[in-house]
Amino acid sequence: MIHMRRVVFIVFAAFLGFSAWAQEDQGRDLSKYANDQFRSDDKYTVETPYETVTVAPVNPENEIKNVIFIIGDGTGMTQISTGWVLNGGHLNLDNFKNVGYSRTTCTDRLITDSSAGGTALACGQKTKYGYIGVDEEGKPLQSLLHYAQEKGMKTGVTVSCRINDATPADFVCHSLDRHEEANIAAQYVDSKVDFLCGGGRKFWDEREDGRNLIEEMESRGYTFVDSREQLAAVESGKVVGLFAPLDMPPVLDRGPILEESAVKAIDLLDNEKGFFLMIEGSQIDDWAHRNKVGYMAEELFEFDRIIGKVLKWAEQDGHTLVIVTADHCTGGLTLVKGSVEERTVRVHFSTKGHNDIYVPVFAYGPHSELFNGLHENAEISRIVRSLMR
């Protein structure tokens, strides 16, 4: 009798367990990630999508004259997927037929930062966390931009963060500490980069050492601008544009400064010997850090609109290699709900930091098939350099 009671109890307990499992399995809305208990920062809807472009492939055997290297800071596949849903199932990124992946680890940590990640992309060599344009021993590295200058090409950098922040600095400067921002800014004065636009003006004319880097740049023949109108009026020559004391405001507040500066850079840099231009969608990363999907999405949209304009120009030119990638992924973003037709998403951020998920590499133009497959981030830079020879 006692034995029978135990059997009945076990069967009853098993039935209760099965019922609980079945309830949980069928009622997944009980999950905090799927039961409408979202902060307002976790959902976003786009009322009016933007138009995207379509480009045809160019002759893959053409000689490469220009390189446009576009970096979406913190931009992984989930950021791109979220943007694709919000824009109604269309992005300019859809044009890329040659797509690979990049591993972003640095030499002393699994999870990289923009300094080490950007150095690998800029210089073709992995380095330590926080290092800018130097190897593990602190020795200066030659970036793709420096290599372009050596070949007589014009060069440019345009970003929406401080121009002396990690990623832009990786292409121009050298430092053992990304936080030495005043020192990094000063290195731009003698950099001979033809086109520089971004934020961070306080590091140029409100310096503790009393230097006015803007005046020093002007004495070297640069035109200084601090507004969209002034930038639009420039017709030739070297340019330094500083549009905010630190990072620029969010894109819906600042307007299309990055988009316009990218177009202006191409216009001013285009020449017989070719050019190298680095464009960074800097604040995709910033708003992923803050776990604000709407702000992040709007930065991604501007980034993608820039890609559309670059691709149309490269299609007509036929001799321009376009690379789009990221230094790392940010926010542990997961797309958990949404509708392409309604252009709405709900997401979950698992972290406010970076992670080590592979990031995409998109390539367009001559020899772009070389970027297919899985690469270390530094290898992307080395392939670009080999094609610039």
Q: Are residues 363 and 313 in the same domain?
A: yes
- 283: part of which helix (H) or strand (E)? helix 283-289
Domain tally, the chain = 2
Q: Within this chain, do residues 152 and 191 fall inside the same structural domain, yes or no?
A: yes
Query: 239-259: buried (b, 16+ CB within 10 Å) or exposed (e) per residue?
Result: bbbbbbeebbebbeebeebbb
pLDDT digits (tens, 9 = 90+) for 234-277: 999 999 999 999 999 999 999 999 999 999 999 999 999 999 99
- pLDDT computed for residue 1 by the predictor: 41
Burial pattern 264-298, b for ≥16 Cβ within 10 A else e, equals bbbebbbeeebbbbbbbbbbbbbbbbbbbbbbbbb
Does the pTM of the predicted model rise above 0.75? yes
User: What is the pLDDT, as a whole number, of residue 39?
Assistant: 56
Catalytic, 114? Answer yes
Q: How far apart are CA 120 and CA 128, in angstroms?
A: 10
Element (H, E) at 382: helix 377-387
In this structure, are 315 and 334 located in the same domain? yes
- pLDDT category at 10 given cuts 50, 70, 90 is very low
Query: In the chain, at which residue ranges do the beta strands (DSSP E only) sit?
Result: 43-45, 66-72, 98-103, 154-162, 195-199, 222-225, 238-242, 275-281, 320-325, 329-330, 333-339, 344-349, 354-355, 359-364, 373-376
| Residues 137 and 16 both lie in one domain | no
User: Residue 11: its pLDDT value, please?
Assistant: 36
Supply the pLDDT for residue 36: 39
Please check whether residues 275 and 372 belong to one and the same domain: yes
**100/68 Cα distance (integer angstroms):** 17
pLDDT digits over 26-45, tens only? 332 333 323 334 457 899 99
Same domain, 15 and 142: no
72-86 average pLDDT score: 98
User: Any idea what the CATH number is for the domain that residue 122 is in?
Assistant: 3.40.720.10
Q: Are residues 18 and 45 in the same domain?
A: no
Q: Which amino acid is at 239?
A: V
Task: Mark whether 87 and 126 lie in a shared domain.
Answer: yes
> pLDDT class for 7, splitting at 50, 70, 90?
very low
Let me know: does 277 contact 69? Beta carbons within 8 Å. yes
Same-domain pairing of 75 and 185: yes
Query: For the segment 286-326, what is each residue's pLDDT rounded down to a tens digit?
Result: 999 999 999 999 999 999 999 999 999 999 999 999 999 99
Out of 10-14, 271-275, 312-316, 383-387, pick the least confident. Answer: 10-14
pLDDT tens digits for 87-137?
Answer: 999 999 999 999 999 999 999 999 999 999 999 999 999 999 999 999 999
Domain that holds residue 1: 1-30
Are residues 18 and 123 both part of a single domain? Answer: no
Q: Say if CB 34 and CB 42 are below 8 A apart.
A: no
* Catalytic position from the list 102, 114, 160, 175: 114
Q: Are residues 22 and 163 in the same domain?
A: no
Is residue 366 classed as helix, strand or coil in its secondary structure? coil
Q: Both 99 and 164 in a single domain?
A: yes
